[in-house]
Amino acid sequence: MRQLLGMTAALALLAGCTDASEPIEDGSVADDTPVASDTGASDVLTSEGWGPLRIGMTRDEVIEAVGGPADPDAMGGPEPELCDEFPPARAPAGLFVMVENGVLASISLGEGSTIETPEGLSVGDSAEAVRTAYGDRLEVYPHHYLGLPAEYLTVWTTGEIPENGNPDENARGIRYETDVDGIVELIHAGGPSIQYVEGCL
């Protein structure tokens, strides 16, 4: 399996990089007005999506819902037609999406995000809080780059995928990526791509 995810450095590039005058793919000007929450549901990231975004929707549907890349040069990938990542222009701070083969594969939260998972967890919470929330449903693996005590804490809500195993494309889950201090730095929700340890590289 391709290795991807672990995007703290890429997220740091996003802060302060949004320019509302940047053109997006359809030639229009990016609208950086954040998507509003009508009922509070947009404040929750589940394994199936967030607000108007649903895992499996097309790239065009993603752009229609939350806009194109806020900064087309901030993330991306060497072959964007196969795998692309970007913070949508109208999404809340700290949220970015991964589109693989033309469909939304995962949604991630990083620095600056206040969005919570259904268990009330968010970026900045402790690994212990994640363990308490999920108990023995968690799959725990050492962080690919940092090693222990940094970890990947993953829970599958639909299907289950062994680490580096054969992917079940219908599986859905949430992964909490912690640093050496046991603090959640990134949260990834969606399909098998939540296991990637780098971006679209």
Q: How many domains does the chain have?
A: 1
Distance, first Cα to last Cα, the chain: 13
Could you tell me if residue 61 is inside a domain? yes
Could you tell me if residue 29 is inside a domain? no
Please report which residue ranges of the chain form alpha helices under DSSP H.
8-14, 59-66, 127-134
Could you tell me if residue 7 is inside a domain? yes
**Distance of alpha carbon 21 from alpha carbon 174, whole angstroms:** 34
> What is the pLDDT at residue 81?
82
- Residues 16-65 have pLDDT tens digits of 333 333 333 443 334 444 444 333 456 899 999 999 999 999 999 999 99
Strands 83-86 and 95-100: antiparallel
pLDDT over 90 percentage in the chain: 62
- Residues 113-148 have pLDDT tens digits of 999 999 999 999 999 999 999 999 999 999 999 999
- Residues 30-44 have pLDDT tens digits of 444 444 433 345 689
- Which residues constitute the domain of residue 118? 1-15+46-201
**Distance of alpha carbon 34 from alpha carbon 95, whole angstroms:** 11
Q: For the purposes of burial, counting CB atoms within 10 Å of the CB of 13, is it exposed (0-12), middle (13-18) or buried (19 or more)? A: middle
> What is the pLDDT at residue 161?
72
Could you tell me if residue 22 is inside a domain? no
Could you tell me if residue 33 is inside a domain? no
Could you tell me if residue 39 is inside a domain? no
Could you tell me if residue 200 is inside a domain? yes
Could you tell me if residue 128 is inside a domain? yes
Alpha carbon 114 to chain centroid distance? 13
